[in-house]
């Protein structure tokens, strides 16, 4: 027998049990705390009609406490079976249409309600047909809530077997847990989790959650958002937003045109209702290097605001207060910068200190700390903080040395889109905007491995919410030269084809940060193993004779890795010809994003990139070069490539440079870009020919 705590509004309860007319009831409980005794309740036209004739708008009803008699329990079961048959019918028809997908979404409905008192109710209802093994994970359900702020209710969760058998999940079996992940976190958020029973291939998983925000941070902060469609087909996806009639909804539907983008607007009692309903939504077929699904799927975002003033005012009061300089902050900055006089040198020292000495730990308990951080002095004292805490402290510390800056909210570039035409607080990260020497640029102090002026590549090319400056901005994408890897080969080949030499890697920007992070996570033994694997990809049987690196923990010194290698019998021979492949060219110039004949979506990279090679190859006595590759230069507005090769006595010198200029390549320019990448890949396969003269 299900033990459900009914915190849903009346129609939600009716929908769960399939009751279309009369509900036997003892008590109707309203959101204002009052209770009404009734022998029966009839649901008509979005209203509850009591047996004595009284009419109650459905959104005023908190829950209905049902009679415990046999009749009240029996009625839902009969109607529930009808619902199951309809789901099974839809699933069978959809499977015929989509035979090769992993799952099919049968129902995907959302409702957001803003009540006149500012409290909010969100209801989600989904049903998924599971067709392949990985999608059995849909049976693992969960919902996050914040103590003292909102409560979540599992209204219904069940598994429907292919034969129609129903396996109900008891909400009492939900387990409560705190957030887990790769970072330390001390938050009020908790998660209710559960595993539905009997989930197998062919099953249908159906779940209904309700999330009531009974203690909102601010009654004006109402930001409904909904995504229509995923990488699996969806038969139906609906979104309903209810707001008091006197309020106005500002909304935008992205990646959807025509009538489907416009809502049906009606009035229900004291509410204005906006409803979007999409049917038979084709699934998104993933492509290499495409934007995230959340950027290309149709989605809706809404707000009560027509401009950003309220959000700027709301968060600004916290941020101005929290970025104040105190004697403790002033003293620490003086200690960090020492006798430095150059502003940029001071900035770099503070940036490096904040990354290395102030740990990333999230401690949240309110809207103020969640979006505007804790006071700078507190984060300094604690020696830890999360992204907004560190951005707040960074701004306060830079004030001490006379550098202007602001904390800014961003949505990182691997996440759903960050359209700012509708004012909302959607964002998942905070970084720092710096203004120095007439330039505006950004830094991210949450990293531990970014050497100034590098910052996390996931921040590049996204919009910013700058509360203190009261503006919406954009994070720059660094030049390719700022995200560079230099590969330098100093090699000597003997007449038998054995190669000895030194490989040097020097880098900056996100390339350096990525390798620096990897070096921090491995010991010397593992580092040697990974380096050995790298040179084995160049030549099976290669040996690593020595490896040296600069100190990966020292952010003041560029990272450099030196490998002393031996590649036995590396070239191939054809009579008097020695055929020498460029060691890593083919490896680094592979472009999976150009594999498709046509693309539906843009190509999206994290950031720009430059890969530069230089190889000096000392030839064995008696060999000369034969037909050096012609110089090459290729260019598009998205990338360039150039290479050249020359003979310098008994040494061949090869150089090339690949530069990716932009982060995004639009789908309409794919064919041009594809041809460019294919030409680069072909050029990387051209070997050097050495001819034996004696």
Closest CA to 495 of 600, 622, 613, 327: 622
Q: What is the pLDDT of residues 607-651, one digit of tens each?
A: 999 999 999 999 999 999 988 999 999 999 999 999 999 999 999
Return the CATH number at 242: 2.60.40.3140
> What does the pLDDT read at residue 33?
47
Q: Are 129 and 208 in a shared domain? A: yes
Residue 513's φ and ψ, nearest 5 degrees, are -60, -40
Average pLDDT over residues 325-333: 98
Residue ending a domain, choose from 246, 272, 303: 303
CA-to-CA distance for 386 and 607, rounded, in angstroms? 24
Residue ending a domain, choose from 303, 330, 365: 303
pLDDT band for position 70 (cuts 50, 70, 90): very low
Q: Are 432 and 409 in a shared domain? A: yes
Token pair recorded at residue 328: 């403790």
Return the CATH number at 56: 2.30.30
Closest CA to 241 of 302, 307, 306: 302
Q: Are 527 and 556 in a shared domain? A: yes
Residue 13 in this model has a pLDDT that exceeds 70: no
DSSP code of residue 471? E
- How many Cα atoms occupy the beta-carbon half-sphere of 275 within 13 Å? 11
Closest CA to 372 of 446, 465, 460: 465
Q: Are 390 and 516 in a shared domain? A: no
Alpha helices (runs of H) in 504-625, residue ranges in sequence order: 509-520, 524-538, 585-588
Closest CA to 346 of 358, 334, 355, 357: 334
4 within a domain of the structure (yes/no) = no
Q: Are 455 and 322 in a shared domain? A: yes
Closest CA to 417 of 461, 476, 473: 461
CA-to-CA distance for 271 and 112, rounded, in angstroms? 12
Domain range for residue 38? Answer: 10-71
Return the CATH number at 548: 2.60.120.1130
1 within a domain of the structure (yes/no) = no
pLDDT band for position 454 (cuts 50, 70, 90): very high
The predicted model scores a pTM of 0.84
Domain count, the chain: 4
Q: Are 187 and 175 in a shared domain? A: yes
Average pLDDT over residues 251-258: 92
Closest CA to 209 of 173, 167, 159, 156: 156
Q: Are 299 and 313 in a shared domain? A: no
Q: Are 204 and 325 in a shared domain? A: no
∠ at Cα 405 (404, 407), nearest 5°? 160
5 within a domain of the structure (yes/no) = no
> What does the pLDDT read at residue 360?
87
Q: Are 401 and 463 in a shared domain? A: yes
Q: Are 322 and 287 in a shared domain? A: no
Q: Are 502 and 420 in a shared domain? A: no
Q: What is the pLDDT of residues 343-399, one digit of tens each?
A: 999 999 999 999 999 998 876 654 555 677 899 999 999 999 999 999 999 999 999
∠ at Cα 142 (414, 171), nearest 5°? 170
651 within a domain of the structure (yes/no) = yes
Residue 474 and residue 465 in contact, taking contact as beta carbons nearer than 8 Å: no
Residue 541 and residue 566 in contact, taking contact as beta carbons nearer than 8 Å: no
């Amino acid at each position: 027998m299900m033990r459900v705590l009914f915190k849903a509004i009346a129609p939600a309860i009716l929908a769960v049990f399939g009751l279309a007319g009369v509900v036997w009831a003892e008590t109707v409980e309203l959101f204002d705390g009052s209770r009404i005794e009734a022998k029966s309740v009839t649901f008509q036209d979005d209203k509850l009609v009591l047996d004595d004739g009284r009419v109650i708008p459905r959104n005023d009803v908190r829950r209905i406490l049902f009679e415990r008699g046999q009749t009240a329990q029996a009625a839902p079961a009969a109607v529930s079976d009808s619902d199951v048959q309809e789901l099974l019918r839809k699933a069978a028809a959809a499977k015929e249409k989509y035979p090769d997908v992993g799952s099919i979404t049968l129902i995907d409905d959302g409702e957001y309600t803003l009540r006149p008192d500012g409290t909010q109710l969100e209801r989600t209802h989904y049903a998924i047909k599971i067709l392949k093994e990985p999608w059995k994970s849909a049976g693992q359900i969960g919902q996050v809530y914040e103590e003292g702020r909102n409560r979540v209710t599992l209204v219904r969760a069940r598994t429907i077997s292919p034969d129609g058998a129903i396996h109900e999940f008891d909400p009492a079996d939900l387990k409560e847990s705190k957030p887990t992940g790769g970072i330390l976190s001390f938050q009020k958020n908790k998660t209710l989790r559960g595993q539905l029973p009997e989930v197998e291939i062919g099953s249908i998983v159906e779940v209904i959650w309700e999330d009531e925000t009974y203690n909102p941070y601010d009654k004006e902060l109402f930001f409904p958002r909904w995504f229509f469609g995923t990488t699996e087909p969806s038969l139906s996806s609906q979104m309903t937003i209810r707001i008091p009639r006197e309020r106005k909804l500002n909304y935008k539907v992205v990646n959807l045109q025509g009538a489907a983008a416009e809502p049906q607007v009606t009035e229900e009692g004291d509410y204005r209702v906006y409803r979007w309903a999409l049917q038979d939504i084709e699934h998104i077929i993933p492509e290499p290097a495409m934007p995230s699904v959340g950027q290309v799927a149709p989605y809706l975002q809404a707000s009560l605001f027509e401009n950003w003033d309220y959000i700027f005012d709301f968060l600004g009061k916290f941020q101005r207060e929290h970025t104040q300089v105190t004697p403790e902050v002033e003293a620490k900055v003086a200690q960090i910068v020492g006798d430095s006089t150059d502003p940029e040198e001071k900035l770099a020292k503070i940036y490096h200190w904040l990354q290395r000495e102030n740990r990333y730990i999230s401690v949240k308990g309110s809207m103020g700390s969640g979006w505007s951080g804790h006071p700078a002095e507190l984060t300094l004292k604690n020696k830890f903080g999360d992204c907004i805490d560190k951005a707040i402290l960074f701004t306060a510390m830079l004030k001490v040395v006379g550098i202007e800056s602001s904390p800014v909210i961003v949505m990182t570039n691997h996440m759903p889109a960050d359209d700012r035409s509708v004012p909302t607080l959607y964002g998942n990260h905070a970084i720092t905007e710096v203004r120095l020497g007439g330039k505006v640029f950004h830094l991210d102090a949450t990293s531990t491995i970014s050497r100034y002026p590098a910052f996390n590549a996931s921040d590049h090319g996204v919009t910013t919410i700058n509360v203190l400056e009261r503006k919406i901005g954009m994070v720059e994408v660094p030049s390719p030269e700022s995200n560079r890897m230099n590969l330098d080969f100093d090699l000597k080949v003997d007449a038998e084809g054995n190669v000895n030499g030194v490989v040097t890697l020097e880098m900056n920007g996100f390339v350096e940060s990525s390798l620096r992070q990897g070096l921090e996570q491995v010991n010397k033994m593992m580092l040697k193993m990974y380096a050995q694997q790298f040179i084995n990809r160049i030549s099976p049987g290669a040996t690593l004779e020595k490896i040296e690196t600069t100190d990966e923990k020292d952010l003041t010194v560029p990272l450099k890795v030196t490998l002393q290698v031996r590649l036995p019998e590396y070239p191939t021979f054809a009579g008097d010809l020695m055929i020498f492949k460029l060691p890593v060219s083919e490896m680094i110039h592979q472009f999976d994003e150009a594999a498709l004949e046509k693309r539906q979506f843009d190509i999206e990279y994290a950031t720009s990139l430059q890969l530069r090679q230089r190889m000096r190859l000392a030839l064995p006595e008696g060999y000369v070069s034969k037909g050096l590759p012609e110089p090459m230069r290729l260019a598009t507005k998205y990338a360039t490539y150039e290479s050249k090769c020359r003979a310098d006595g008994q040494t061949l010198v090869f150089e090339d440079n690949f530069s990716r200029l932009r982060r995004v390549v639009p789908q309409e320019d794919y064919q041009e870009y594809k041809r460019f990448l294919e030409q680069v890949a072909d050029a990387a396969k051209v070997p050097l020919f050495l001819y034996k003269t004696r």
